[in-house]
Chains A and B, each alone.
Chain A
Amino acid sequence: MSDQFTLRVNGADHDVRDSWLGESLLEVLRNRIGLLGSKGACEQGECGSCSVVVDGELVCSCLVMAASAIGQSITTVEGIAPDGAPSDVQRAFVDAGAVQCGFCTPGLIVAVHSLLESDGEPSDTEVREALAGNLCRCTGYGRILEAVERVVVERRR
């Protein structure tokens, strides 16, 4: 068992107890803190469904040891639109039909926000490279790329 520690998630402090040493941030987010938006699938950084932002960097929360993230600022998909109204990226995903089973969606939403914060006008190739770590088995990616394009165009206005 690890000592109790505190994580700052979406602007709020959460005390984490009874976590086992080495437990991933993904497990702690879902099972200790109760934030179920980040999904767990591969648990080896291959699928991107657990993507979160730690101190400004997009990472896979399954590869972050939770207790090592003390003092860092963690943003999950729940922190993207905290007041309940969907973000522009979330709306674009719905409008473009980029959500099918929905399992990969939270990770993609976090990844797209992270991409557009660092580059507001990414080329198609740059979008594909930026989202290469987020696997979707339903859409074939076309509608996801379209959703990103919609946000780029909207934000330009």
Chain B
Amino acid sequence: MAVFVATDVASAVERLDDRPESIVLAGGTDLMVEVNDGRLRPLPDADVVAVNRIAELRSWRHDVAAATVTIGAAVTYSEMLAEPLAQLVPALAEAARTVGSPQIRNAGTLGGNLGTCSPAGDGLPVLAALGASAEVASTQGRRSVPVVDVMQGPKRTTLGSGDLIVSFTLPVTDGWQGYAKVGVRNAMVIAIASTCLVLDRQRRSVGLALGSVGPTVLRAPELEAAFAAALDWRTMSVHADAVRTFADGAAAFAAPIDDHRASADYRRHAIGVLTRRLAARGLDALGAAA
């Protein structure tokens, strides 16, 4: 049993394959809370595989021709909220800025966000709304999986014990995207409700994902399609009723529970407010530019 500091994907997945009880350690901001609390003890015949010094996981690249950006699973929130990444995926930068504190953002990673798969994970609504895919490696090879298909429930994913999240690929959209979240203060807050909205002018499509109001982040395809149909994409204008219908629809689509952070009613209301606010911001920004 040991802590294995991996420097490449191949050796990391071999180690995970050898010892299926092993634990993947990225930024540690979720994992170490459980270890410190005694809720998680690395098993005697298992390893801890630290992945945040694997160069491929620590880097990102912009494919201009494909209009995509691929972000390594161990890229930190601090890197996501800084230029030049922030300009390519503004909603991700906004979400990253709401995560914890500088100390947490310097350590926490996007791969860890999906690996933990909390419904309140701030990066996840952005990945869902943008239709991001995750590249997952194992000793069997690599595969690309839509992020929404990885998220199965609170802290549950479809990933197996030998799987390692390598990177995420998301489109660089033409249009507007934003993330908003409700919490009790501006820092160190786990989302009570969160929303990501993408208005993709080129594809004439809308992406809407809701956080902290269901067992996983929720994506709302029917609402997206209805709002996209109601939008005049040329002038970026829409009847005020359509925004209200969209926001009310998002609130109704949310499936929140009561817990120690907020009541289900409050969360549902917050989703309506956040959706309306993001839609107004996006339309203002694009309408003014049109």
Contacts and interface: CB of A to CB of B under 8 A. Distances in A.
B106 A24 contact: no
A70 interface: yes
A3 B2 contact: yes
Contacts of B33: 43-45, 63
Main secondary structure of the interface of B (DSSP, over half): loop
B41 interface: yes
Interface string A50-63: 01000001111011
Interface residues of B, number: 31
Nearest to B49: A68
Nearest to B1: A21
Interface stretch (A75-83, A129-137, A147-155): A129-137
B42 interface: yes
B88 to A, nearest CB: 22
B106 A57 contact: yes
B41 A22 contact: yes
Contacts of A114: 102
A114 B102 CA distance: 10
Contact of B35 (A24, A45, A129, A133): A24
A114 B101 CA distance: 13
Interface residues of A, number: 32
B50 A21 contact: no
Given A21-B3, A70-B5, A65 B32 contact: yes
Given A21-B48, A43-B36, A46-B188, A65 B103 contact: no
Contacts of B103: 45, 48, 51, 58-60, 63, 111, 133
B35 A65 contact: yes
Interface string B20-31: 000001011101
Interface in B11-65: 25, 27-29, 31-33, 35-37, 40-42, 48, 50, 52
Question: Which of the listed residues B5, B40, B101 has the most CB atoms from chain A within 10 Å of its own CB?
Answer: B101
Contacts of B50: 65, 68
B188 A68 contact: no
B187 interface: yes
Interface in B110-149: none
Interface string A113-145: 011000000000000011011100000000000
Given A60-B104, A68-B3, A70-B5, 6 more contacts: A43-B37, A59-B103, A59-B106, A63-B27, A65-B31, A133-B100
6 contacts: A22-B42, A48-B103, A58-B106, A65-B50, A67-B3, A71-B5
Interface of A: 2-3, 5, 21-22, 24, 43-46, 48, 51, 57-60, 62-65, 67-68, 70-71, 111, 114-115, 129-130, 132-134
